[in-house]
């Protein structure tokens, strides 16, 4: 069997704990399963957009 989607990642135990805490999966699963990576990255993108919107709203309030 050939793993086309597997990532070669170097990570620490603290990164493993953070990944489990934030996304409920470990790096081993994240690196092997494309659908898991896409779900995690979609959630990260959504969180990033929300944070950018919050920053924009705060800046608007500060400069008003």
Per-residue pLDDT tens over the stretch 2-59: 555 566 667 788 888 999 999 999 988 988 899 999 999 999 999 999 999 999 999 9
Q: Are 15 and 27 in contact (CB under 8 A)?
A: yes
Q: Where do the structural domains in the chain lie, given as residue ranges?
A: 25-62
| Exposure string over 13-46, b if 16+ CB within 10 A, otherwise e | eeeeeebeeebeeebeebbeeeebbeebeeeeee
pLDDT of residue 57: 96
Q: Among all chains, which residue has been given the structure tokens 């990255």?
A: 41
Sign of the alpha-carbon dihedral angle for 21, 23, 25, 31: negative
pTM over 0.85: no
Contacts of 29 (CB under 8 A, 6+ apart): 36
């Amino acid at each position: 069997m050939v793993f086309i989607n597997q990532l070669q990642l170097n990570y620490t135990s603290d990164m493993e704990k953070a990944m489990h805490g934030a996304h409920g999966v470990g790096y081993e699963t994240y690196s092997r399963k494309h659908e898991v990576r896409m779900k995690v990255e979609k959630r990260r993108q959504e969180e990033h957009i929300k944070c950018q919107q919050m920053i924009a709203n705060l800046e608007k309030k500060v400069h008003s």
